[in-house]
A and B are shown apart, each in its own frame.
Chain A
């Protein structure tokens, strides 16, 4: 397979992690209006947990699943801390998530040290492409598809969507809005955890890996105003591909700039029209 095709598949694989991170941000933002700055730490925490679980002798698959569920629980806890007190504004909650993200650094360094870690993914390659990238793409497709179904086809999804549209009216028609917010945080946590677990075999993870992931995930999400899952997926994949191409043909040191430039471009384009975070 040609070099370009390899870069494309690799880029889509990396982009899937961005899309999952961005989707976590979107789920949380839509329901609670909170931009969750702790999103990247879900990924790091889950990935580092997998290294420990594997070292303890747990089989692949089981360890990863457990870590993703743990990330969901951590998401729930972050949600509780950030939004649990009645009357907390989205802005205060945002600051709390920022604080929790920094706190996560301390916990992660205490538990796992400050050196990068990794674990094995699916071994082998087809046509010059590591099989693990195909696994990333497949799992992401299934999970984002299931998430879309959850929102479109279930009572819970309708309640979450109604809360996103108008929390005040949702409360009046009998929806426990606080509970919906916590569920969104748990779901966001699990999506973030999955991103970390999937990406770590091809990109080492350390306590501060969350920055790169969140910058790219946020850039993807901002393309869809933090509210549109489809555009977030498209943005994530696009970013992954462009970053990989830039890394392959120019220099890997430009990769994070790509996300920042992308985010700036979207923000500048949006600012000309409406306040980005208010337009829902």
Chain B
């Protein structure tokens, strides 16, 4: 499988402190790749570098054969990278369907003039977006909630809605930031099932997660960070036996 995302030598410094140092990571087309690590390992920083909310001090990020590390977040979205969870709550002033439709904004072609004048081009776009949204709602099991205000959804459904919104733009790479955090057992299982379904549909997924059981179930490969560096990578079975990983998680002589 070719690599869809390639992070090489990613470094991010805040003042004199390295949050991330010389990190390599690759996500193959169609795989689910997890990034784990103790608190302060640099997971969120790495995630933000890939999403574009932070710019790397050094290193490169390639996506689909081109460098994206200097692109603004919305330009990365336009290339097919969608983000869900932690930093992207649902828009509480929109309905469920409207929230999902916002996800297609990045890929619509008709500009503001077409929208203001309601030109035919814009109307065609609206029809397409509505169909995409209906499809995304169906894939995430939210069809019956479609017309509710997003703020009225239970937490589990809000997570599904974030996934639906990310799907509506037709992404190739899905970045999931701590999908399981704050969810109870059944909600967590439902979300894991949904993510498995997305993988089966051919999406590449990069997830940052605390919940080890969640990662064990979903990830094809795992990259382990500690103190801003990669300390191990491989399948879950491989990294579980890795002494460096055990030390990082359980403490002990370094």
Q: Does B165 contact A (CB under 8 A)?
A: yes
A174-B91 in contact (CB<8A)? no
Instruction: Say which residue of A155, A169, A171 sits within 8 Å of B125 (CB atoms).
Output: A155
B73-A159 in contact (CB<8A): no
Q: How far does the alpha carbon of A169 sit from the alpha carbon of B83 in the complex, in Å?
A: 10
Please name all residues of chain B whose beta carbon is closer than 8 Å to the beta carbon of A172 when the two chains form the complex: 51, 53, 73, 83, 87-88
The answer to whether A164 touches B93 (Cβ under 8 A) is yes
What 0/1 readout, one digit per residue, does chain A (87-128) give for beta carbons within 8 Å of chain B? 000000000000000000000000000000000000000000
Classify chain A's interface size: 20 to 34
A156 at the interface (CB under 8 A from B): yes
Q: How large is the interface on B (under 10, 10 to 19, 20 to 34, 35 or more residues)?
A: 35 or more
CA A156 to CA B111, docked complex, whole Å: 8
B residues within 8 A CB of A253? none
Chain A residues with CB below 8 A from B82, complex form: 173-174
Contact (Cβ within 8 A) B94 A161: yes
A171-195 contacts to B, CB under 8 A, are 171-177, 183
A166 and B89 in contact, given A155-B104, A155-B125, A159-B105 (Cβ under 8 angstroms): yes
Please give, as numbers and ranges, the residues of chain B lying within 8 Å of A154 by CB-CB distance.
Answer: 115-116, 118, 122, 126
B46 proximal to A (CB < 8 A): no
Whether B77 sits at the interface, judged by CB under 8 Å, is yes
Note all chain B residues with C-beta closer than 8 A to A150: 115-116
Instruction: Answer whether residue B148 sits at the interface, using C-beta atoms and an 8 A cutoff.
Output: no
User: When the two chains form their complex, are residues A174 and B169 in contact, meaning their CB atoms are under 8 A apart?
Assistant: yes
Name B122's closest neighbour in chain A (CB-CB).
Answer: A154
A175 CA to B77 CA in the complex, in Å? 8
Chain A positions within 8 Å of B77 at CB level:
173-174
Residue B88 contacts which of A155, A158, A161, A173 (CB distance < 8 angstroms)? A173
Give the interface centre of B94, B105, B108 by most chain A CB atoms within 10 Å.
Answer: B105
List, in ascending order, chain B residues with CB within 8 A of A156's CB.
112, 115-116
**Is residue B74 within 8 Å, beta carbon to beta carbon, of the partner chain?**
yes
Cα-based distance from A161 to B90 in the complex (angstroms): 12
User: What residues on B are CB-neighbors of A149 within 8 Å?
Assistant: 118
Residues of chain A having any CB pair with chain B under 8 Å = 149-150, 153-159, 161-162, 164-166, 168-177, 183
Given contacts A165-B91, A173-B165, 5 further A-B pairs with CB under 8 A are A156-B116, A158-B98, A173-B77, A173-B83, A173-B105
> Can you give 26 A-B contacts (C-beta < 8 A)?
A149-B118, A154-B116, A154-B126, A155-B104, A155-B115, A155-B129, A156-B112, A156-B116, A161-B93, A165-B91, A165-B93, A168-B87, A169-B87, A170-B91, A170-B102, A171-B73, A172-B73, A173-B88, A173-B165, A173-B166, A173-B169, A174-B77, A174-B107, A174-B169, A175-B106, A183-B112
